[in-house]
Chain A
Amino acid sequence: MGKVLVIDVQKCIGCMSCVTACKDEHVANDWSPYAKPQPDYGHFWINVEKMERGTIPKVKVTYIPVLCMHCDNAPCVKACPAKAVVKRADGVVLIDPAKCDGCRQLKSKPLCIEACPFNAIYFNEALSIAQKCTLCTHLLDDPKWKHGPRCVDSCPIEAMIYGDDGDPKIRELLSRAESLKPDHGVKPRVHYLNLPKPFISGCVVDPEEKEVVIGARVTALDLYTSEKREVSTDELGDFWFTGLEWNHKYLLKVEKEGYESKVLGVLTVDKDVNVGDVFLEKRR
C-alpha cells in the first residue's frame, strides 16, 4: 500500500503544464522539512521528454513525463553517505534538506545524483544540496489538500493519475502498466501506460497513373518471432504497422492485383520507420 502515479503517455499532449506547476510550487517556496526552494532555473523535478518519431510526412510526437520514480528499491537511498535520502512508509522517497550536505567531503557531485537511473535528481549549487520531486508531500500530508501533487492537478487531460496502490481502480491500471527501465529492478512507483512502440509506415503509389494505390496488401514478417502482420493501404495510399517490437527485424512486402509485387527488404526497427513512397509497377 502506498502512493503511486500512473502516466498515460498516449494522452500526454506535451503542454508543459506539469513542468510549470512544479516550478510554481517549488521555486522560491521553502517547504522544509520536505524540501528547500528549487533554484529559479536549471532544475526539472518533472521533465517532459519529447520523442519525435518518423520522417516527413509520417511524423508523430510522443511525450513522456519523467520525474523521481520513488523507487521501492531506490539506488539513491543506498548511495547516500549521510542517510539523507529516506523512504517513507507511503512509498515516497525524500531527500532531507537538513541532513543532505551535497557530498561536500567527497568533492564530487552528490552520490544520489550519480546513482539515479532516471537522472531525476538535481544539485542546488547555492544551497549545496541534492534536490528532487517530493511528490508534493508537503501538500499531500495536509488532510485538507484535495488536489494531489501539483503536476497531476495541472494536467488538462488527466494523463497523470495519482492514487494508492491499494485502490482497486489504481490496481486495474497497474495491471496494464509498465515502468521505465524495467530491467533495473529498482521497482519504481511511477508507472506508465501506452509507452511507445515503433511503427513502420509508407505510401503506395502507381507512378504511371500518378495515383495512390488503395487496398494494397502489405505484410510485415517479424524475423525474430515469425509473427506475420498484414495491413491494407488506406484511402490516401498509406499503410501503418503500429505497436511493433523495438529492434526487431521485419521483412516487408507489398502486393496488389495487377501490379508487380515488391519486396521492400528487411527493416530494423531501432526507430520509427517511414519507408516513403513505394512505387508499384503495373504487371504487363
Chain B
Amino acid sequence: MGPPIPLYKALEEALPNSIFPSPFRGGGEELKAAGEGVRVEYLPSGLGGFCYSPPPMEVYVKNNRVIRILPCHIPDDVRLWEIKTDRGTFTRPRKAVPHPHMLAYKNRVYTPTRVKYPLKRVDWSPENPNPQNRGKSGFVRITWDEALRIVVDMVKRIKEKYGDTTPILVQADGHGQSGFLHTLHFYGHMLFHKLGTGWTQQVRNPDSWEGYYWGAKLVWGFDPTLGEPYQDGTWDNVLQHGELVIFSGCDPETTAAGFSSHVSHLCEALKKAGIKVIGISPDLNYSEAVWADRWIPINPCTDAALYMAVAYVWIKEGLYDEEYVKTHVVGFEDFKRHVLGEDDGTPKTPEWAEKITGVPSWTIKALARLWAKKRTSLAVVYGGPKVRGPYSHVVGRVEAYVLAMQGLGKPGRQFLRFWISQRVNIKDIAALPTYAEVTAETRQSLYIDRADYANRAYPPPALPLIKVLVPDAILNPPITWWCSGSQLNKVDDLFVKYRYPPRDDHPGIRMIWNENSCYTTCWHGYQYIEALRSPKIEFHLVIHPWFENDALFADLVLPALTDFEVADLVISGRSEIVGFAYHDKCVEPIGESKSDYEIHRMIAERLAKEFGKPELAEAFPDPETVHKSFYERTMLYKKYGITWEEFKKRKVFFYSHPTWEEWVEIKKRFGYDAYDSFMSKFYKAGTGLETPTGKIEVQSQLALKHAPDDKERPPVARWIEHGDLPTSPKKEKYPFLLCSNHPKYRFHSQCDEIIWLREVYKVKGPDGYLYEAVWIHPSDAEKLGVKTGDVVMIYNDLGAVLAGVMVTERIKPGAVSIDHGARVDMISVDDRIDRGGAIDLIVPVSSFKYRRGEEMRVPEQICSGILVGVKRVNPLELMSKYPQAFQKKMHPIIGPVTEAYVVG
C-alpha cells in the first residue's frame, strides 16, 4: 500500500458537496455577540507541542485582558463523524472540551511564577561559573542586551576553546505550548544546525511508550507509532464486534483529555455498545473509577507476569487460537516452552504470578478464560504505568504475544488506542471516520519539518545523545549504548551502537541550552542535578516562561512567553477534528518576555554577524512570512481558495467528516471492509506487518540477527527477575512499589502552578503548604501511622521528596501512587530533599541496570515500578533544620514564586 491518495475527486462526483471546510463562526459575527469592545481569539488548547493543538479554545479578550476561555464549539455546518453499527450509531459531542488546565490558562499567563526579565545567577561568570552553587545562589535582573551578549560570548568561547560547538548540549524537545511558530521547543537545534559548527543533540526518548518502543516493536513493527498497532478503523471494529475491553493502565480521562481534548464520549460509546470494561492497574485511575465494570489491582510494572500466567492457562486448557498462531506468528514454540517452564524450570503458573503481581491466582485463571471466551480488545492511551518501569521491554513484548494468541485482528479482538490524533496514528485511513484528503493533509502538507529536531536523531555535525543518559554522559563519560532513542527511527536502530563523547579527545558536554526546563521533574532529577553542578558545565542557559524546575539550577534564564502574548497560527491536528485558526495577540507580553522564536531570532542575528554567516539570520524569517507560506500549503488555500488575508479575518475553519456511507466507501478504496481495522487486514492476509517476516514475531528475527545472545532482550522475551519486584530482597529496605502516572491535573510538568486546580488536588499539610498527593491504601497507612493530610517522605538511595498523604481504597496495598511532574521546591540540594513532590527526582537513570562502562543495550526510561521507602515526617522539624528553605517567598496556593529566587 502506497501513501494515502486524496479521494476527493472520485467522491465529489459521487456525492456532491459532501466534502467542504466549514466556516467556524466568522470572527466578525462572534465579535458582535461577545459584547462591546470584546474580541474572540482562537488559541491552542493543549500542551503537546510540536506545532499541533487539539481544537482551539475560544478566548474572549477586552482591553489587553483575558476575560474568559471557552471550549471549542463546533459549528452546526461542520458534519460530525458517525459510526453505524448493529448496536446503534455513535458520534461525538458538538464541542471539544480541553483539559481543565487549559480552561484555567488565564491563571498561568498572569502567575507570579513567570520569568519577567532576563535573570542571571548572581555568582556566575564565564571565568568563575561556581557550578557548586547551582540551585543555591539567587538571581539578579539584567537587560536583554547583556543577556544576549552573554549567550553569544559563551557560544564563541566554547568554539574557541574546544574547536567547534559540539560541547553545547541542546535540550529542545518534548511537550510544550502548542502554537504553530512562536512557543515551540526546537529552535536551539535549528540555530546550531544552520550555524554548521555542530551541537550535541539531546534526542528525546519515547517517554510515555517505553515498553512498546523497546520491546513490542520487535514483535509487530509499527515504528511510526512507537510500537503500538495502527488505529485505522479500529473503533468501527470494536464498537461493532467487541464484548470486553481491558483498560491496561489506560486512563483516557487523564491522558487523552490532556492531549486531544476530552474523549469521554468514546468511553461512553463502549458502554452503550454493551461492552464490558475491566481495568488492570495498581491504582483505580480516573477512567476506571467511572467506566470500568471491574478493577483488577496489580503490583506496579508486573503485568508481564500476569500475561505469562494467562498464557499458561490458555496453553494448558487449549484456549488459544492455535490456527492463527500457526499462520500469523513466528517462533511461538520457544515462548510456550518458557511459559511452561521447560527452559528454566519455572512454570509461569497463576500461583507463580500471584506472588509477583498480587493478583489472586483464581482471578488470573478466571480472567484468562473470560479473555478467551469473549471478543476482547486491549486499550491504552499512552501505555500506562506498566510500560514505564524497569525492563519495560518485557511487558511490551509479552503483551503483544498474548494478543497474538487470541488472534489479534479478529472481529472485536483489537489493540485499541484512545489516541485519536490523525497524523501519526495510522497507516492508510483514519482512526475515526475522516475524508481521505483530510487525512492526507494532516500527514503531508501539515507536516512541519522543524519538529523533526525534537523527534529525530541528526547526522553529523550533530552528536546524538539519548535524553535518558544525559547525566551519565556528563558524569561518567565515555558511555556506550544501543539506539538513538529517536521516536521516529526504524526498529533496526535498536541495535545500532552509539558512544558519547564520540572520541576520547572530545571534551564532552560543556554548556547546556535548555528550552524545556523540565528534565529535573520528568526524568531522573537528582542525578541530573548532580551533573548540572559538575565543574564540567561552564554555562547553563534556560529559556522558559516560568521560573521552575531546571531554571532553579540555571546560570541565565531568558523570559519566554505564552501563546496569549503573540499572534500565531493554530493547527488543530491532535484530535479527529481537523482545522486551522489564526489568533492575534490577546495581551501584551508579560514583563520583557519574548517568544521562543523571537529569542532565537535575536540570538541568530547576533551569531550571524559574529560568525560571518548571514544565512543563519535568514533561517529565522519574520513570523508573518512563515505563517503565510505554511498556510498556502493547506487545502483551505489550494483547493478552496481562501486567501491568507481572508483566513486571518475569519480566523477559524474546520473540515467536515464523512457520512458513514462515505466512510465505508473510503475504506473500500483502501482495501478495508466496513468494520475492518488495520489489524483486521493483517488477520485476513496473514502478512503485511513491517517485521522482517511480515508476521507477528514472537521470536524476533532482528534480535536473532543482531543480538542472539543478549541476556536482557533475547530473541524471545523471557521473564526477568530483578531488584524492583515484590519478590526482591530490596523490599526489606524499601517496602513500597512506586506507581507514577501521567498527572491528572497537569500535562507532565506543565501547569503545576494553576491555582484553581492546586486547590482541588494538592494535600494541605499541617504547615499549610500544598503538597503533591501520594495515594496510600488504608492498610498501609495504618502500618505507617499516617492519615490524610499528613506529610511523608518518599525515598531511596538517590534522595527524597515530600508528599501529602491521601488515604484511599484506589491504590493497591504495597504500592503508593504519586503522579510525575510536580514543581521542584528544594529543601536541600546537598541533602537531596524536595518539598514539591517531584517524584522523578528519585528515579534512577536506566544505567543502574548495567556495570559502569558496560554497553547499555536497552536504555529505557524508568519512572514507575521502583521500590521506595515511605515514612512520616513532621515538616516543622525539617523547618527548624532548614529554615531558609521554608522562608522562601511563597504564594499561599502556588508555593514558591519567581521572586523567591531573585536577590537584590
Contact = CB atoms under 8 A, between A and B. Distances in A.
Q: Do A and B bind each other?
A: yes
Interface of A: 11-17, 19-21, 23-25, 27-29, 40-42, 52, 54-61, 63, 142, 144-147, 150, 153-158, 203, 205-206, 210-212, 214, 235-238, 277
B584 interface: no
B93 A24 contact: no
B294 A236 contact: yes
Interface in B286-328: 286-287, 289-290, 294-297
B757 A20 contact: yes
Given A157-B262, A158-B93, A210-B361, A238 B294 contact: yes
Contacts of A15: 99-100, 253, 257, 262, 264
Contact of A52 (B286, B366, B760, B810): B810
A256 B759 CA distance: 50
B97 A154 contact: yes
Interface string B343-367: 0000000110000000011110111
A59 B35 contact: no
Interface in B220-277: 253, 257, 261-262, 264-265, 268
B812 A56 contact: yes
Given A16-B757, A147-B73, A158-B93, A52 B265 contact: no
Given A23-B756, A56-B777, A158-B93, A212 B73 contact: no
A20 B103 contact: yes
Contact of A19 (B264, B296, B760): B760
Nearest to B351: A210
Contact of A236 (B261, B370, B760): B370
Contact of A150 (B68, B351, B367): B68
Contacts of B458: none
Contacts of A52: 808-810
A230 to B, nearest CB: 20
A59 B289 contact: yes
B141 to A, nearest CB: 26
Nearest to B25: A146
B587 interface: no
A56 B104 contact: no
B286 A14 contact: yes
Nearest to A143: B33
B756 to A, nearest CB: 5
B103 A61 contact: no
Contact of A147 (B35, B70, B286, B350): B70
A26 B286 CA distance: 27
Given A17-B97, A150-B68, A157-B264, 8 more contacts: A15-B264, A19-B760, A20-B100, A41-B756, A42-B759, A59-B809, A61-B289, A235-B373
Given A154-B71, A156-B93, A211-B362, A145 B253 contact: no
Nearest to A60: B289
Contacts of B295: 57-59
Contacts of B369: 235
A41 B671 CA distance: 56
Nearest to A274: B809
Interface of B: 32-33, 35, 67-71, 73, 93, 95, 97, 99-101, 103-104, 106, 253, 257, 261-262, 264-265, 268, 284, 286-287, 289-290, 294-297, 350-351, 360-363, 365-367, 369-370, 373, 745, 755-757, 759-760, 777, 808-810, 812-813, 892-893
Given A21-B103, A154-B71, A13 B286 contact: yes
Most interface-central of A11, A25, A150, A210 (chain B CB within 10 A): A210
A11 B296 CA distance: 23
Nearest 6 interchain pairs by C-beta: A156-B262, A156-B97, A61-B289, A20-B100, A144-B33, A157-B264
Contacts of A40: 755, 893
A238 B284 CA distance: 18
Contacts of A61: 284, 289-290, 810
A57 B358 CA distance: 12
B755 A41 contact: yes
Contacts of B268: 11, 157
A56 B359 CA distance: 12
Among A24, A25, A54: residue with most chain B CB under 10 A:
A24
A253 B756 CA distance: 48
29 contacts: A13-B290, A14-B286, A15-B100, A15-B253, A17-B71, A17-B97, A19-B760, A20-B100, A20-B103, A24-B69, A24-B106, A25-B68, A29-B68, A56-B809, A57-B297, A58-B295, A59-B284, A144-B32, A150-B68, A153-B70, A154-B70, A156-B71, A205-B362, A210-B350, A211-B366, A212-B363, A235-B369, A235-B370, A237-B366
Given A16-B100, A147-B73, A156 B264 contact: yes
Nearest to B289: A61
Contacts of B373: 235
A54 B778 CA distance: 13
A60 to B, nearest CB: 7
Interface centre among A20, A54, A57 (most CB of B within 10 A): A20
A13 B97 contact: no
Contacts of B892: 41
Contacts of B284: 59, 61
B103 A24 contact: yes
A24 to B, nearest CB: 6
A60 B257 CA distance: 20
A55 B810 CA distance: 8
Contact of B893 (A41, A150, A214, A277): A41
A206 B68 CA distance: 59
Nearest to B67: A29
Contacts of B287: 13
Contact of B100 (A17, A28, A57, A237): A17
A83 to B, nearest CB: 30
A50 to B, nearest CB: 9
A13 B251 CA distance: 12
Contacts of B366: 211-212, 214, 235-237
Contact of A14 (B93, B103, B290, B297): B290
Nearest to A145: B33
A60 B97 CA distance: 24
A141 B467 CA distance: 54
A13 B265 CA distance: 11
A144 B93 CA distance: 22
